[in-house]
Chain A
């Protein structure tokens, strides 16, 4: 046991006496008049149900959260009456701009509404009757193996930070729980797809691990958010789109469709978060842009890794014999990814003239 409360409630005779009094019928009912405030929220749109947006009212709403949270370090829900003696739960992320994005409550609602089930909604029967070559399947399995590792790290980011975030930011914490869940779902479906194809999972490789470590080891949440949601999710989005487009298998198309919708939500959060942070604390932009440049360097390592680029070339060509001729199409894929990534950086307020990804793609095109 790591925590012993100052007051030993268990052996406190006053507490026992109070409980006994209540069970004898002597209620004070003082909690009924403790300073509560009626809310009476109702769905603004009956078909959509009662959304978080409908409950953003008065002292209960997120508009009331101060930039620096000083008044509550406990798990008391925002807007509840805070009694003296509430403990400090150890939160060390207590600034709204550190984590907040104005779209987080809506993204949370959307995520629940778009839930899907990998075991049943992917047409696995299509994987049982593959109509492509074993080499094509091995390359797909290799990329699904890479995607499994990426999804694992994507889930580890919120897991690493959410329990450290002040409870006043509850909608944001809930959104991070959906991110953990979405990432788990993706890790599950990618791994199942690699195994179900018959060739089994592919290889773990150092350039992928380097990128995963660079993303995971971010020393602040904003850095983790920028590298995880702008860069890693952007890369996953490009990969899934491409894999869904080149495969004629219905299962791959379905996985790409669901997967892209999930990671796109995290990209939207990442951009929203960076915008909110930089609008509140503009000086943070330089450090985060530098961090993103550094993680991009690791991403370049992956984009240039022989196993990665040859897998992409093979699935793009459809077979091993035509893979060499497909390299320009892989470069075109990299160009699209670099352009989209640069656009996201600009939208987030993190544009860089030293982007390693842009430099790498230019060198490919030279």
Chain B
């Protein structure tokens, strides 16, 4: 036990007297008489139901919440009437500055996430797997890819979870959104795990990839963790999902990638909008974020590990013959270039155009090309 309430009610005479009074029917309705003015909230579009944006009225609105929340140290929802003075028990939230967590459009991302939940158990046509004959080398390569994806997806549940309970309850919209991210990513890890276990099993874990995951988990702040996870990591994975749909052996795997892509795109968008909000409202953190990304991008190069690269080449070329491998290398080369280009484009949209000129990924690309040409 780390917290003992301020009262032991077994031995509290005031409390016992009050209870005796209540039993006699003496109820205190002071709270009812000191109620607040009424507000009218209606669904803007009945088809979409009652959304968070519809509830953004008066004291409930985030726009009427100060940049730094000082008055709420407990778990009161935004818009509730707070206790006066220091009576409110302190649950110790440490993310109390709006720009530390907020993202443009986060409320609509929450509503979208709620509407687009799917079920890895029933929405993938697992029963169709026996309809298709997959050559063994392709099956094994696909399971190697699934091993990596199952491995990396759980970081996107652990990182948001690590920070969510530190967020002030006035930012419930963000806490809610990242809870949807936690379940989305759990489902991704689940679908890739199940696909591997429906076939050749799980293969080799990625040592270098895992060092990148540790870099994400151990980021010094939520914003740093978010930019590494959402913008850089999930951005790269989103491009990987698109390519993987293209090189999937059967419609069963294609369906999996179609389902995970829509979630991943939402997470990347949240990360972009958080970064943009941060850049707009705290421009002083730009050097810090750039310095962090310089290191994070070096970490991320760990994802290009030999097992991953080779399995993608086998899948891209649809086999292991020299001709197949040549085709696979072309496919994977194009996809890797696209990963980097799309990342730079996202960074530009979020207000960090300098990534395109200062990123270590450019150096890596140059070294690779020089190696291949040389």
Interface residues of A (CB under 8 A from B): 1-5, 7-10, 15-20, 22-25, 27-29, 31-32, 34, 36-43, 46, 48-52, 55, 57, 60, 74-77, 79-87, 89-90, 109, 112-113, 115, 117-122, 124-125, 127-128, 135, 138-139, 142, 145, 148-149, 152-153, 155-156, 158-160, 162-163, 167, 170, 173-174, 177-178, 180-181, 183-185, 187-188, 191-192, 194-196, 198-206, 209-214, 216-219, 223, 290-291, 294, 297-298, 300-301, 304, 306-307, 309-310, 313-314, 320, 323-325, 327, 331, 356, 359-360, 363-364
Interface membership of B205, Cβ < 8 A: yes
Asked whether B204 lies within 8 Å of A31 as measured between CB atoms, the reply is yes
Residues of A contacting B41 in the complex (Cβ-Cβ under 8 angstroms): 195-196, 198
Per-residue A-contact encoding for B15-46, CB less than 8 Å = 1, 0 else? 11011001101111101100111111111001
Asked whether B49 lies within 8 Å of A117 as measured between CB atoms, the reply is yes
Interface membership of B121, Cβ < 8 A: yes
Give the residue name and chain of the B residue nearest to A310 (CB).
B27
Asked whether A363 lies within 8 Å of B19 as measured between CB atoms, the reply is yes
Known: A149-B169, A320-B32. A112 touches B187 (CB 8 A): yes
Interface membership of B258, Cβ < 8 A: no
The 8 Å CB contact of A48, one of B5, B121, B313, is B121
Interface membership of B172, Cβ < 8 A: yes
Q: Return A176 CB to nearest CB of chain B, in Å.
A: 8
Asked whether A118 lies within 8 Å of B205 as measured between CB atoms, the reply is no
The 8 Å CB contact of A205, one of B6, B83, B306, is B83
Residues of A contacting B68 in the complex (Cβ-Cβ under 8 angstroms): none
Asked whether B179 lies within 8 Å of A119 as measured between CB atoms, the reply is no
Asked whether B196 lies within 8 Å of A39 as measured between CB atoms, the reply is yes
Residues of A contacting B28 in the complex (Cβ-Cβ under 8 angstroms): 306-307, 310
Asked whether A120 lies within 8 Å of B115 as measured between CB atoms, the reply is yes
Most buried by B among A41, A52, A364: A41
A356 and B313 alpha carbons, distance in the complex (Å)? 65
**Size bracket of the B interface:** 35 or more
The 8 Å CB contact of A10, one of B130, B201, B360, is B360
Q: Closest 9 A-B residue pairs measured CB to CB?
A: A324-B25, A76-B205, A20-B371, A119-B49, A184-B179, A204-B76, A209-B89, A120-B49, A163-B158
Give chain B interface residues in 179-205, CB to chain A under 8 Å. Answer: 179-180, 182-183, 185-187, 189-190, 193-194, 196-205
Most buried by B among A32, A119, A290: A32
Q: Return B70 CB to nearest CB of chain A, in Å.
A: 15
A-B contacts, 6 listed (Cβ < 8 Å) = A23-B329, A118-B114, A177-B185, A196-B41, A325-B25, A327-B22
The 8 Å CB contact of B210, one of A74, A201, A309, is A74
The 8 Å CB contact of A36, one of B50, B198, B200, is B200
The 8 Å CB contact of A204, one of B82, B157, B161, B220, is B82
A90 and B154 alpha carbons, distance in the complex (Å)? 14
Per-residue A-contact encoding for B131-172, CB less than 8 Å = 1, 0 else? 000000100110110010011101101111110110001001
Residues of A contacting B60 in the complex (Cβ-Cβ under 8 angstroms): 195, 200-201
Asked whether B154 lies within 8 Å of A301 as measured between CB atoms, the reply is no
The 8 Å CB contact of A86, one of B3, B207, B310, is B207
Asked whether A46 lies within 8 Å of B127 as measured between CB atoms, the reply is yes
Residues of B contacting A327 in the complex (Cβ-Cβ under 8 angstroms): 22-23, 25, 27
The 8 Å CB contact of A219, one of B2, B23, B165, B204, is B2
Known: A10-B360, A32-B140, A80-B151. A39 touches B333 (CB 8 A): no
| Known pairs A8-B298, A201-B81 / 7 extra A-B pairs, C-beta < 8 Å | A77-B189, A174-B187, A178-B183, A184-B179, A188-B176, A204-B76, A213-B5
Q: Return B74 CB to nearest CB of chain A, in Å.
A: 4
Asked whether B121 lies within 8 Å of A216 as measured between CB atoms, the reply is no
A90 and B214 alpha carbons, distance in the complex (Å)? 9
Residues of A contacting B143 in the complex (Cβ-Cβ under 8 angstroms): 36
A214 and B295 alpha carbons, distance in the complex (Å)? 40
Residues of B contacting A191 in the complex (Cβ-Cβ under 8 angstroms): 55, 77, 79, 172
Interface membership of B8, Cβ < 8 A: yes
A310 and B27 alpha carbons, distance in the complex (Å)? 6
Asked whether B215 lies within 8 Å of A3 as measured between CB atoms, the reply is yes
A82 and B121 alpha carbons, distance in the complex (Å)? 27
